[in-house]
């Protein structure tokens, strides 16, 4: 005996593409550790520094953080595929210098606002094209010629810096239109525009690595390149794509720096930025085939809190810069020790 029913079969549920992209954001114990650390540091400096917890201070951090944040995303994707990109800062400066030259040489001094905006758009495209070209050179050397990433990007770092020095003669490029400062000095609803750009590229990188076939192949390539090759993955094409994206992110950093400083120079961040991006990736536990974009974002926030907190707490004290570097080193060692004990506990429980 069968029971008849008039119920119609349920229609398949259609997910919106963007909602589907965020339906399973990976959050692990490392993410929680970093969040707790960020909260502890924020509360600590809010207590010991009188003016730390103010709108002005937080807004200032929002303007300073994105340069290093976007550049760290550029470093992350190269480490994710099993390599490293030491030329991120040199690419950033070269893109800024060439875009700056275009603005200085070609924008008429009596141009109307709309015309200047059009020229700025072209300058940004030039910077992005330079980043794309620099990334392609790295991708060719690493993916197709077979040069180890650290040697290839060390060579291109020197090459790109040399080109910047040759073009500028070691001088700083200035004289940009005031409209450029909108990127580096203006806010939308109280939120700094550079910070919104940083959030945008963080989301884009998350989708690229966690929600696309390219991200899956990049993860497999970073974890086990031999297995990736036997799985039919074109390792060389993935490396080329990863380093081109890294170069484009570096160029975006150059645009952000130009917008904030209203200048372009071959030496901007040359002594610290590459090391800081590596430090942040280590702090976020980024390894070949492993790592979360959200952890990188939180790690950038942690370093900015440390930097601003110590700068305000030790304002006027001789050697404060040294103490800031000292604190970064101590933090890194503490993270290593914490990860060591966490891995040991997991090994015992398994």
pLDDT tens profile 207-239: 999 999 999 999 999 999 999 989 889 999 999
> What's CA 9's distance to the chain center, in Å?
47
Structure confidence at residue 138 as a pLDDT band (50, 70, 90)? very high
- In this model, does residue 162 exceed pLDDT 70? yes
For residues 80-103, average pLDDT: 95
Assess contact for 237 and 221: CB atoms under 8 A.
no
Show the CA angle centred on residue 77, arms to residues 73 and 80, nearest 5°.
130
Distance of alpha carbon 113 from alpha carbon 69, whole angstroms: 31
Structure confidence at residue 151 as a pLDDT band (50, 70, 90)? very high
- In this model, does residue 314 exceed pLDDT 70? yes
For residues 153-161, average pLDDT: 95
- In this model, does residue 50 exceed pLDDT 90? no
Task: Name the nearest CA neighbour of 124 among 249, 247, 246, 252.
Answer: 252
pLDDT at 307: 84
pLDDT at 13: 47
Among 73-82, 281-290, 310-319, the range of highest mean pLDDT:
73-82
For residues 6-14, average pLDDT: 49
Distance of alpha carbon 15 from alpha carbon 204, whole angstroms: 19
- Calculate Rg over the CA atoms of the chain: 23
- pTM reported for the whole predicted model: 0.86
Work out the widest C-alpha separation in the chain, in whole angstroms.
92
């Amino acid at each position: 005996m069968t029971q008849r029913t008039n119920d119609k079969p349920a229609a398949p549920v259609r997910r919106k593409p963007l909602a589907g992209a965020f339906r399973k954001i990976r959050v692990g114990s490392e993410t929680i550790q970093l969040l707790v650390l960020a909260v502890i540091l924020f509360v600590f400096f809010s207590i010991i520094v009188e003016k730390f917890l103010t709108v002005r201070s937080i807004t200032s951090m929002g303007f300073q953080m994105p340069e290093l944040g976007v550049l760290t995303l550029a470093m992350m994707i190269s480490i994710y595929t099993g390599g490293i990109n030491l030329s991120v800062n040199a690419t950033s400066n070269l893109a800024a210098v060439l875009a700056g030259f275009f603005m200085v040489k070609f924008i008429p001094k009596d141009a109307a606002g709309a015309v200047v905006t059009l020229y700025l758009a072209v300058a940004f495209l030039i910077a992005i094209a330079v980043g794309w070209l620099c990334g392609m050179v790295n991708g060719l050397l690493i993916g197709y010629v077979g040069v180890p990433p650290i040697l290839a990007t060390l060579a291109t770092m020197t090459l790109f810096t040399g080109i910047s020095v040759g073009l500028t003669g070691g001088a700083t490029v200035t004289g940009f239109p005031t409209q450029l400062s909108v990127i580096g000095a203006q806010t939308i609803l109280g939120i700094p525009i550079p910070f919104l750009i940083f959030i945008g590229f963080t989301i884009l990188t998350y989708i690229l690595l966690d929600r696309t076939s390219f991200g899956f192949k990049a993860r497999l390539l970073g974890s086990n390149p031999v297995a990736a090759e036997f799985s039919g993955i074109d390792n060389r094409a993935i490396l080329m794509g990863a380093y081109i994206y890294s170069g484009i992110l570096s160029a975006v950093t150059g645009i952000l720096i130009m917008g904030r400083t209203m200048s372009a120079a071959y030496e901007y961040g040359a002594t610290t930025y590459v090391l800081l991006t590596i430090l942040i990736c280590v702090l976020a536990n980024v390894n070949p085939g492993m790592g979360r974009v959200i952890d990188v974002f939180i790690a950038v926030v942690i370093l900015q809190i440390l930097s601003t907190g110590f700068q305000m707490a030790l304002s006027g004290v001789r050697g404060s810069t040294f103490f800031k570097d000292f604190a970064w080193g101590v933090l890194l060692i503490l993270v290593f020790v914490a990860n060591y004990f966490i891995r040991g506990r997991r090994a015992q429980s398994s």
